[in-house]
Each structure stands twice: as C-alpha cells, then as structure tokens.
Chains A and B, each alone.
Chain A
C-alpha cells in the first residue's frame, strides 16, 4: 500500500518544521523529494540535508531561485517531480506540498483515498472567467501580457509595463491547443498525467511561454493538465485560504478545533511556532485525535468574514483603524434612527407618547445648544457619551455616529430643530438610515407661548426661519438619501392623527390597531394672530403654511374652553 504516494516538497524557511513534516510523511512510507530555495544560504542548506541524511527515501532536487509570482516555483516543482518519477517507480500519485503544509489526517487515510482513485488527478483548474480571486485585477491578461518585472520589488516598472502593453495593444500569442486555466498551486497528479506533461515534446514551447506569464505556478500545471488528464477532479486536497491580497492565511494554535473539522488532507500555511498544532497532527495514528465531524463551511465563514472586514468593514463604525473618506463609508451610520422636527413644539407630551407607542428610545433635542437632552435628561448615555454641548460640538458628526453605534439593537429617536446646532444637518439628510419627519414652522409655537418682548421674538423668528429653510434645502436636495416627510404646520394640524400614523407606520412599529391615544396638542388659539403680528412687523413667516387670523370654528370643537375674546383687526 505504502509508497504509492510521493511528496514533492518546496521549502524555503522554518527548516526544523519542514524536517518534522518530512519525517512524518516518510514514517508513513511516502518517499519525499525536497526542493530548497536557491536563496537559502549554503550552510543552512547543508545542515538541513545532513539532518535528513538518515532517511534513504528523502532526496533533494536541483535548486532554483523561487520568487513569488515568478517562474522559479514552477521550475522547482518540475525538477522535484522528475526526480520523484525517476527514482521512485512505484509512486502512482505525486503530491505537491510546501514546508509549511501539514497533514491534518493520518497519512494512511490519504494513501487509501488515492489508492481507491488511481486515475484521478486532483488539481484545481478553472478557466479565467470563473475565478474571482485574482491579484491586481489581472486575470486573462496574465496570459496575454509579458511580465519581466517583479510585482513585489519592481512595482512601478511592473505597473508601467502593464499599462504600456495595454496602451499599444501588445499581446502574446497563447501556444496552440492551450486553454488558460488557473487554480491553487498545490496539486496531486497521477504518474501518467505528470509524466505526460514533463515529457511532452512541446514542453520547451510551453515553458518558454509560461516563463513570462504572471504567477505561472497557478496556471502552468492547471492549464497543461487539461491536455492529458483522463479524469480531473478540480479541487485541491490542500486546505488553503487566501486573504484579499491573495496571500495565504496562516493557521495558529487556536485554529486547532477548526482544522479538526476540515475535510482536507493537508493544510497550509501553518505558523512555524504553532507548537500545539504540530503536536496534535504530527503523531502516529494511534495517538491521533478522535475524528471530528467535518465542517469545512465553518472555516470558509471565518476566513471570508476576515476578507469582508478588511475590504468593507463595519458600516457606521469610525475607529482607529477605519476612517473612511467621505462617501466611502458604505453607510454613514450603522442602524436606522428617527428624527422628529417640530413635534415636541406642537405636542405637549410627545416624547413620552412616542416612547410608549413605539417602545424605542426617545431623546429630546440631542443637538440643543444648552446641552444634550438624553432620555431622562441624564448626564451620560450609552458608551459614556457626555451631555456636555462643547464636547458634542467638538465633533458633532462622530457624536451622532457614536450614539447610533453605541445603541446597536435599539432604535433611537430624537428631536431636531432650527434652534439646535446644525453641524449634522447634511449628514442626516444624506444618510439612508435616517427617517426624518418635519413639521415646518413649528418652532414658532414656543415663541408664541412665551412671555418675551415681541421685538426679540421677531428677530429670533427671522433667524430660525432662515436656518430651517437651509435645513429643508438639504432634505430636498438631490443628494438626500434619508426617508424624509415634510408637512407645513398648517397642513399637519388639519389631520394630526393621520400624520402621526404615517410616521409610526414608516418606523415599522408593529401595532395592528390604529392609534387610539393621541399626544396632546398645545392650544393654538391666537396663533394666526401671532403670525399676522410678525408679518405686520415686516417678518414673513412662510414655513408654517396658511393660518387664518381667526381660527375656524370647527378646528377644535371637542374641547370645552373658558370663554375668551378674539380681537378683530
């Protein structure tokens, strides 16, 4: 049984671990051919060879200089395979591995598995159209352009030369009969297929071509195997996960449970200092761990999540290692929230009522100039946000995003108006998570009810009207993405229940019945006259809509009031 699987191993670092793994393979009867990177210094290489000299079935092949993305790795695989095929005639499957690969299951299982599939080639091999994981955006072009420069060390030249070839449409001809395929560089091929590739009379042509293909180790065997193989199973037996830059993820001690649940035979890359992993997996079958139910999906999830986190991040989070440019946030805030403008001015107990109806967190004016009005008017709130207005206005945008981030899972509602600091006016307007309901001109109600000198009132009214109309411009602009609903005050009080119902519906409050209990509206008797007075003083309050100087008789017939006088003018 043993001896049918040969391992070709590419090593360039962590020689003690490589030795350990080689001994493990060899102990199970697998001959091993080792290729050591030419860049490794001679004394280190010699020591490594000497350390393994007691094993007759471990051979070393001619050394090549291996650089990422260059031809050397393919050349190394070729010479290693040649030695393997020539010196170990009983080998049926050749498994390409690296020094940082580690068998996850007893070697015997791999041998049995391959013995049952004597004619199957395990190599991930897909056409360029089907692979999403190309580095640098070069997929098909890696076969049609020339790449004489190193991507790692000569990036400027590399990019320039790619651009140059694109511009002047310089293309290479792909040798006849080849259909470019790509896939993981770690494969397991049968003697028949592998020798056909290595002994092909056209091999010099192919080699010359692939020498200038970019990252040929991901395409040389993957393409040529399509010419000869009778039975390709297009997957790698080596578990290998890549990050967003195409760099392999590394496995550590804390991945032990995860790796036990993999259904792959071999994993890479293992961190050389992951003692627990080496201890757990490189033992003889008797001491091997009990098999766990394979669950490769879990591994996938963890690593694809890491890629997602690195490329998109958590929406609405601003922190030390994530500060997106404006417009690159993929979401200004992390969760929906509701902004109410003019409601507390018009209804006496609006906040309490809203909290009761919706079960959400309802704050007062978060951006009030005197200080933040948290629910319950506390000094601090979630995440230890301070109610201090100076601290808030120091970075008002982040104050808002912090508030929403800190209360994930609980919907926030707050009041806003022209009296408040306006730093976040545009941010809210552009935020799809914001639901903004505005009763325009309602800010005049507290003035109307106040006991202040009319001249002051007039001046402030003019100012607030200007601020609110700027805010409304933001809400109505083409960049606004918030869900905005705007009523003029006159419009709203025609049918307040309907307005409130609309707002609650849009918040997605799950009440099947209609609103039974309404918040109490302030007494607006005389408001028309108040507006008229403002007009008479030369300040035209237009945001409220049209109010009759004398309120129509049917406006509030249900309330019984003390008799009062309406002065006519």
Chain B
C-alpha cells in the first residue's frame, strides 16, 4: 500500500514537473534577447543565471565577485529596468541578456524565465542561480575556485549543492552608510544572526524549510510561519528535464533537494550571503509595495516598510560579525562535509 501511494506521488511529481517545463517553454516568448553571446559557451563552462530589476549599482561588484570565483558565462533576465542595468550588462563580454516587461509575479517570480534559459543553455553545465544581492560562499572558497567544487561534486556523483541564505545587515540604520557602485557590500552589511534558525522537512518535496534570522526576529516574530524561507539549492549540474519549483528553494525531481544528510553525518554545504539590507533597500521596498510583484503579496516588503519606519536597526547585541567561511563552518551554519 505504501509503495503504491509513493509511486502515485512520484507520478504526481512527474506530472507537476512536466507542467512547469511546459510553462517555462511557453514563457520563453516573453523574453526578448538584448545580446546573445551563448555561442561562446564551451562544454565545461560554469554558468550563472540571474533575474534582476534596477540593480545597476550592485552589478560591478557582483560581476567582479563571480568572475573571480570562476564563472565563465552570465545569463541575465532583465525585468524592465529603467536605471541602465540592461545596457551595462549588454556591454559585458561574458554576459548574455534578455529583457521582458511582463509580470515577474506571473512568471512565478522569475522562475519560469530562468527555467527556460536553463533548459535551453544550461543542459550539462553546472549552473548557479543567484540574485544580484546574493554572494555564494562554499568551503575553501578563499583558496579554491568554483571549478574545484564542481569537479569534486562530479567525482562524488552529487548533482546539487545546497547553500542557505544568510541575511546580512549593517549596524545602525540601513541608510547610515550609502553603498557606492563597485564596493564590497559586505563591508557595510557585515553582521548576521548565528544561531536562531528553525528547520522543518517538507515531506512533499523533500527539501528542508529553513526560517529564522533577522527578518524572522524583527518582522515576523508574531507570525513565524510566514517568515521567508532561507533554504536554497543554487548550484546544480543542470539537465534539461530539471526544473526549479519555487525560487531556488525547491527543485524537481525531488532527489535534487536532498542536500542534507539524515543519518547523522554532514554533507558539504555553502552559504548565500544576502546583502539586501543596504541603503538601497528602502527605495526598493517602497517601489515593490506599489508594484506588488513579490512573494505572498509583497507581505515581506509591507512588514519591512512598517518595521523600517519606526526602527530600522536589525542589529542586536548578539549579532555576529562576518569574517570568512571558516567562521560560518565553526558556527555550524555550513559544512565542509567530506571535502578536505
């Protein structure tokens, strides 16, 4: 009986995956190519996919960071920016850019667009999906390029690599220190919550559901169920049959979500340092409130707008100051797992 129902569920998941893939395929028409350099992608290249809107100030450092890490090609979807992001990206020799003015929300928060691009260009490559305010960290990232990690994952027959979102914030008001293009945002937003995370297992998709951190502590304390999910699986050896379900929180087939060990050991994992909380944030929050394009009816942004107007300080006495990945490893936020 149990076997029958689990087979039925597997089949349901298969149908769902197909539906998302068809959806992504249909949404391809919403994307208009600005500059397509994908012909330059070589077979073993590591690709980065990202959706953005009005992030020009962040882009120079973002590109520098990931180029140094060893990303070979960037694929961007620009959602109707009006700050020059699109032209800036189009000028980058290692980037391909698509643009759309269509609804971010109706593309399931950009997932459909990226699923399409990954289906089209990501097959057989290691693909990293991050937002412009997310900085990927993995064990030994200060001494080994990302190819060392992907080679090791290949050798270990691992297809996906988890990286929890870690909200970074400055001490004091968000607008106290303005962010300048090209600057390391972690110089300003260098604090984080070390140990207040809650983890549940999602039995339907097998992924973990991690919540907590400063956003849960300050904006969602009375409704923690609604607090943003922090679990992410941004690095995947892509196959055209794969699909992201909900941002990069979950994937199908479900086996890709098993980035954690359940028999006591630790698998290797990384971190996404989330530098959303800079002085640019309040402008974004105000804009998103009117656009209503974000998750759960922009609930997050509403909560922020309310929280920010009276006291914008996310910092507390027990906040931890970021040093490097080893610190995060020791704190138990990420793990080297088997990699040494």
**Which positions in A face B, CB cutoff 8 Å?**
243-245, 247, 249-250, 252-254, 271, 273, 302-303, 305-307, 309-314, 317-325, 328-330, 378-386, 388, 390-391, 394-395, 398-399, 402, 405-406
Contact = CB atoms under 8 A, between A and B. Distances in A.
Contacts, number: 174
Contacts of B216: 386, 391
A310 B338 contact: yes
A390 B140 contact: no
A542 to B, nearest CB: 38
Contacts of B197: 319, 398, 402
Which of B156, B208, B216, B335 is the most central at the interface, judged by chain A CB atoms within 10 Å of its CB?
A: B335
Nearest to B213: A384
A319 to B, nearest CB: 5
A462 B61 CA distance: 64
A319 B333 contact: yes
B193 A320 contact: no
Contacts of A385: 195-196, 318
Which of A249, A309, A321, A398 is the most central at the interface, judged by chain B CB atoms within 10 Å of its CB?
A: A321
A386 B335 contact: no
B63 to A, nearest CB: 22
Nearest to A255: B340
Contacts of A313: 261, 264-266, 335
Given A247-B156, A307-B338, A402-B197, A379 B316 contact: yes
Given A250-B155, A405-B195, A383 B338 contact: no
Given A273-B147, A384-B193, A395-B200, A320 B334 contact: yes
Nearest to A245: B156
Contact of B338 (A309, A384, A390): A309
Nearest to A407: B195
Nearest to B210: A320
A323 B199 contact: yes
A70 to B, nearest CB: 17
B273 to A, nearest CB: 14
B269 A321 contact: yes
Interface of B: 140, 143-145, 147-148, 151-152, 155-156, 162-164, 193-201, 208, 210-211, 214, 216-217, 221-225, 231, 259-269, 316-320, 332-340
Which of B199, B222, B269 is the most central at the interface, judged by chain A CB atoms within 10 Å of its CB?
A: B199
B217 A391 contact: yes
B224 A391 contact: yes
A317 B332 CA distance: 7
Contacts of A319: 164, 197, 199, 266, 269, 332-335
29 contacts: A273-B145, A303-B340, A309-B265, A310-B265, A313-B264, A319-B332, A319-B334, A320-B163, A320-B199, A320-B231, A320-B260, A320-B333, A321-B162, A321-B260, A321-B268, A321-B335, A322-B267, A323-B201, A323-B260, A325-B263, A329-B264, A380-B317, A383-B195, A384-B194, A384-B214, A384-B318, A386-B196, A394-B225, A395-B198
A379 B337 CA distance: 34
Given A324-B263, A386-B221, A314 B144 contact: no
B231 to A, nearest CB: 6
The 4 A-B pairs of least Cβ separation, nearest first, read A383-B195, A395-B198, A321-B269, A306-B340
A252 B146 CA distance: 12
A252 B208 contact: no
A243 B337 CA distance: 11
Contact of B194 (A243, A330, A379, A383): A383
Nearest to B194: A383
A321 B318 contact: no
Given A249-B340, A328-B262, A395-B200, 4 more contacts: A321-B334, A322-B266, A402-B196, A402-B197
Given A247-B155, A382-B195, A305 B264 contact: no
B125 to A, nearest CB: 17
Contact of A309 (B143, B196, B231, B335): B335
B222 A253 contact: no
A307 B338 CA distance: 6
Nearest to B144: A252
A243 B338 contact: yes
Contacts of B201: 323
A244 B337 CA distance: 11
B336 A306 contact: yes
A329 to B, nearest CB: 7
Which of A309, A311, A317, A319 is the most central at the interface, judged by chain B CB atoms within 10 Å of its CB?
A: A319
